[in-house]
Structures are given as structure tokens and as C-alpha cells.
């Protein structure tokens, strides 16, 4: 692989990462190479963000995203400041964005609604990174692609199966995997399909890359022959009042020995975490030797460093 210097040679052309497609195809490929280099040689990047401050705004809880983004900024030599709580309640979002604009060099935000992150980007001139919204989780998908590539050496031609809700994580994985030439299959119950506009975009990406996209209610069909089987919670943050009804709707969509057994013998199990053992995944699969969930969590750090290097 070509050696990358500590200064990235490819910068992101879009000012913000609000959704996965803000990263152009060649930028996505470069980011994954940079993430591997950052992982291998972290010290070479230790002062890349010297003198830069980044605001972290979290409307929802977080373990991985919050700590890995803070650590990434720190290990790149920058400073972070964080705030928790709803955005746009005490004062209008457009005022918050214009305050931050005067103080910091970037904003990372975890929000309930995609419109909030878009508003922050509209009203500030500094780069804004989506740390999860109702529609997307782009930072997660980047780390996940890094994880799959580390395991199989490549991505093109592999099959990624997502079992569960057609949610933010499913959207980001779909949009990212197909662009990298991976076949993507989603198995979900009736009533929990992914957003139709995002599926239409994904179909366009599949047509370009030649990869296949399958959205089915048949979990076995989705998982059959997959290199990676991915699960996420049935009830996402903000949907807690639907937990009972969702448990009923999703009970046949648990990744357990029987379902995982339909994937390839060398398939890996993936989960963005946090996981609800006994719901979307059995304890045995979470803990098995082919579970790469903590590799994914580790790669959140490296992939986000690469992203920060390309954006700031």
C-alpha cells in the first residue's frame, strides 16, 4: 500500500459530513486508506490539529462516539469542548450555530433530527460532522468498512447483510457498502423498511458499482452467503415508547446460531453497539470468536481521526 504522509493529500470537497454521500467516492476510498495509516502510525499525526478547537454537541447519550471523537481530537493535538442537551430550546439553533462559528474550528453533533444537523451547517461556516441523527450514522459506517476490510483484505465483491430495523445505521451502511462494491442485503419485518428515498439513492449507487441491493422481509434470504452479518437495536434512541410493540414485530429477526449459520463459515458478526443481548442478538453470537464488535468500536477512533484530518 502507498505510504501516506501525516498531511492528507485528499481533502473533503463538501464542507460538512451531514450524510454519507457528502464524502465523494474517491474520498471514501482515500479515507479508509488514511484510517489504516493512522491506526498503524498514530504518532505521525500527533500535531495535525494543533491550535484547533472542536465543539461536541450531544442531544442523545453516547459511549463510543463521544469518547472516540474526544480521544481522536486529543491524539491529533486539538482541543474539544462538549455540551449535552437539546439544541434549539434555550435559544434558536441559528443563534447557537453563529456563536460556535466565532469560537471553534468544527462542530460534531448527535441530534434527534437530521434537520438540526443541517441547520447547524447552514448557520455556521465551520465543518459540521453528523455523529448520528434519525437518518444517518456516517462515522459508524466508516469504521465498519475499515473493520471488514481488515478482516477480508478487500471489500469489493463481499456481501454485507443487515438484519433488523431499516434505521440510521442501516441507511449509512447501505449507502457506503454499495459504493465500495459490496452486495448489501437488508432483512426487516413489515412496517420497518428503510426510508424509500434513501433506498432509491442506494439503487442508483448499486447500478454504478455493479453491486446488488436486496431489501426483503426474509431474514434467512438476507443472511444467506454473507461475509458479514450486522445487527442493531430494535428500538433506537428516542423510540423507547415503541419498545414493546417492536419486540413483538422483530422477534424472528434475532441473529442467533440458526440465522448466523446461514452466512459463510468465515462470516463475521457485527454490531454498532450498544447491544441488547437476547433481543437482536443472542449472547452466544455476541461472544463468539467471529464477533468483531470491539474491533468496530476501536476503529471508530481511527476512522474519525482520518475524517478530521480530511475535513480540518
As annotated, the active-site residues are 110, 137, 140, 232, 272, 300
Q: Are 302 and 146 in contact (CB under 8 A)?
A: yes
Report d(CA 248, CA 147) in Å as an integer. Answer: 32
Q: How many residues bind ligand CP (CB under 6 A)?
A: 9
**Residue 47 C-beta: closest distance to ligand NVA, Å:** 31
Helices (H), the chain: 25-40, 64-75, 93-103, 114-123, 138-152, 168-179, 196-209, 219-223, 243-250, 257-260, 283-287, 293-311
Q: Which pairs from 203-208 meet CB under 8 Å and 24+ separation?
A: 205/175, 205/178, 205/179, 206/178, 208/179
Residue 4 or 161: the one with the smaller Cβ distance to ligand NVA is 161
63 contacts ligand CP (rule: CB under 6 A): yes
- Least Å distance, CB 167 to ligand NVA, is 5
CA triplet 156, 19, 76: central angle to 5 degrees? 85
State the minimum distance, in angstroms, from the CB of residue 64 to ligand CP: 4
Residue 281 Cβ, how far from ligand CP at the closest point, in Å? 14
DSSP 255: B
Task: Kindly state whether residue 16 participates in binding ligand NVA, applying the rule CB under 6 A.
Answer: no
Residues 233-272 interacting with ligand NVA (rule: CB under 6 A): 233, 236-237, 272
Which of 10, 273, 290, 298 binds ligand CP (CB under 6 A)? It is 273
- The answer to whether 140 contacts ligand CP (rule: CB under 6 A) is yes
198 is a contact residue toward ligand NVA (CB under 6 A): no
Q: Does 168 interact with ligand NVA (rule: CB under 6 A)?
A: yes
Q: Which residues pair with 81 in a beta bridge?
A: 55
Give the per-residue contact string, 31-70, with ligand NVA (x = CB under 6 A; - = no). Answer: ----------------------------------------
Q: How many residues bind ligand NVA (CB under 6 A)?
A: 9
Kindly report the number of other CB atoms within 10 A of residue 264's CB atom.
15
Name residue 155's beta-bridge partners.
Answer: none
Q: Does 133 bind ligand CP (CB under 6 A)?
A: no
Using CB under 6 A, which of 169, 198, 286, 292 touches ligand NVA? 169
Report what 291 binds from ligand CP, ligand NVA, none; CB cut-off 5-8 Å by kind.
Answer: none
Q: In this chain, which stretch among 29-37, 186-194, 232-240, 281-289 interacts with ligand NVA, using CB under 6 A?
A: 232-240
Residue 203, φ and ψ in degrees, nearest 5: -65, -40
Residues 6+ apart with CB under 8 A from 180: 28, 29, 145, 155, 156, 209
Cβ atoms within 10 Å, residue 282? 18
172 contributes a contact to ligand NVA by CB under 6 A:
no
Enumerate residues 204-263 that contact ligand CP by CB under 6 A.
Answer: none
Closer residue to ligand NVA in complex, CB, 215/233: 233
Out of ligand CP, ligand NVA, none, what residue 63 binds, judged by CB under 5 to 8 A for its kind, is: ligand CP
Q: Please work out, in degrees rounded to the nearest 5, the angle formed at the alpha carbon of residue 268 by the alpha carbons of 137 and 2.
A: 70
- Alpha-carbon span 299 to 304, nearest angstrom: 8
Which three three-digit cell numbers place residue 254? Answer: 434475532
DSSP labels for 68-128? HHHHHHHHTT-EEEEEES-SSSSS-HHHHHHHHHHH-SEEEEE-S-HHHHHHHHHH-SS-E
109/233 with CB nearer ligand NVA? 233
Binding site for ligand CP (CB under 6 A): 62-66, 132, 140, 272-273
Binding site for ligand NVA (CB under 6 A): 132, 167-169, 232-233, 236-237, 272
Amino acid at each position: 500500500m502507498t505510504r501516506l504522509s501525516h498531511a492528507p493529500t485528499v481533502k473533503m470537497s463538501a464542507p460538512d459530513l451531514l450524510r454519507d454521500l457528502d464524502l465523494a467516492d474517491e474520498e471514501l476510498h482515500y479515507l479508509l486508506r488514511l484510517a489504516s495509516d493512522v491506526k498503524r502510525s498514530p504518532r505521525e499525526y500527533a500535531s495535525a490539529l494543533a491550535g484547533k478547537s472542536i465543539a461536541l454537541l450531544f442531544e442523545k447519550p453516547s459511549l463510543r462516539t463521544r469518547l472516540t471523537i474526544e480521544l481522536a481530537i486529543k491524539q491529533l493535538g486539538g482541543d474539544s469542548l462538549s455540551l449535552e442537551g437539546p439544541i434549539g430550546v434555550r435559544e434558536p439553533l441559528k443563534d447557537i450555530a453563529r456563536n460556535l462559528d466565532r469560537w471553534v474550528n468544527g462542530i460534531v453533533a448527535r441530534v434527534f433530527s437530521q434537520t438540526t444537523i443541517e441547520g447547524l451547517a447552514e448557520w455556521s461556516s465551520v465543518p459540521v460532522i453528523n455523529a448520528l441523527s434519525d437518518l444517518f450514522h456516517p462515522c459508524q459506517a466508516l469504521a465498519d468498512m475499515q473493520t471488514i476490510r481488515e478482516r477480508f483484505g478487500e471489500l469489493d465483491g463481499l456481501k454485507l447483510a443487515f438484519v433488523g430495523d431499516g434505521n440510521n445505521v442501516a441507511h449509512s451502511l447501505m449507502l457506503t457498502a454499495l459504493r465500495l462494491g459490496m452486495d448489501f442485503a437488508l432483512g426487516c419485518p413489515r412496517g420497518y423498511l428503510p426510508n424509500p428515498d434513501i433506498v432509491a439513492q442506494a439503487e442508483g449507487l448499486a447500478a454504478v458499482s455493479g453491486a446488488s441491493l436486496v431489501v426483503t422481509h426474509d431474514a434467512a434470504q438476507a443472511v444467506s452467503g454473507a461475509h458479514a452479518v450486522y445487527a442493531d437495536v430494535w428500538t433506537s434512541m428516542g423510540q423507547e415508547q415503541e419498545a414493546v410493540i417492536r419486540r413483538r414485530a422483530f422477534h424472528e429477526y434475532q441473529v442467533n446460531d440458526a440465522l448466523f449459520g446461514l452466512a459463510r463459515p468465515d462470516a463475521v458478526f457485527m454490531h454498532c453497539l450498544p447491544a441488547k443481548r437476547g433481543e437482536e442478538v443472542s449472547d452466544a453470537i455476541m461472544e463468539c470468536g467471529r464477533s468483531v464488535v470491539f474491533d468496530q468500536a476501536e476503529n471508530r477512533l481511527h476512522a474519525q481521526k482520518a475524517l478530521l484530518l480530511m475535513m480540518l
